[in-house]
Amino acid sequence: MANLMGFLHHQLIPLIFASFAIIGCGVSQNQETRQHVGKSVPKLSLVSLQAGDETLTLSGKITLLNFWGTWCPPCRQELPGLARLASRLADEPRFQLIAVSCGGGGRDDLDQLQSETEAFLKSTRITLSAWADPTGNTRLRFTEAFGFRAYPTTYLIGLTKRFLLFGPAIRHLWRHRLHNLLLAH
């Protein structure tokens, strides 16, 4: 456990912060965000858009959960940076990026979403496992729990499935605060 905390403090956390600076997440953390820190993350009802992906698990992982859409210009700008981050951390078993491709409405046509997502990822040469929320239930739960309002939105989830931060605020969170939150979980 001490080795993991050392790794988190000295390598993984700084890499996450540097990556968010590079990909452009940049609004300061506000009161609305702070009030949610430590809350349990709602149930995820996601399906893989690729054959062979395993069932998702949040326990024991540092997770970036990103909701994005192929139709969303800011999403299209942000996703390559998140994919690079996930690629850099591919050998770290305690880190995962869950990229949830979303249509423009509450419920998504899974076949259409899969086709559009695959075409976008292929045309941009982005390599990542894409997920979908075809019923909209996960987005609804996150809206009720954390006030999810816009695309793209990224949630940082700790080792014990507790909310740490979301949206553009991640870049401005102090390094020692994130480290303390991870130690507490």
**Percent of the chain that is helix, strand, coil (3-state, to 5):** 45, 15, 40
- pLDDT at 64 exceeding the cut of 80: yes
Report the pLDDT value the prediction gives residue 185, as an integer from 0 to 100: 47
Catalogue the E-assigned strands of the chain: 47-48, 62-68, 95-101, 130-132, 153-157, 163-166
Decide which of 89 and 9 is more confident: 89
Which domains are delineated in the chain?
Answer: 2-8+33-184 (3.40.30.10)
Position 33 confidence tier, pLDDT thresholds 50, 70, 90: low
Average pLDDT over the chain reads: 74
- pLDDT at 144 exceeding the cut of 50: yes
Share of the chain above pLDDT 70, in %: 66
Record the tokens describing residue 182, joined without a space. 């991870």
Looking at residue 98, its amino acid is I
CA distances from 15 to 20, 21, 67, 161 (A): 9, 10, 21, 21
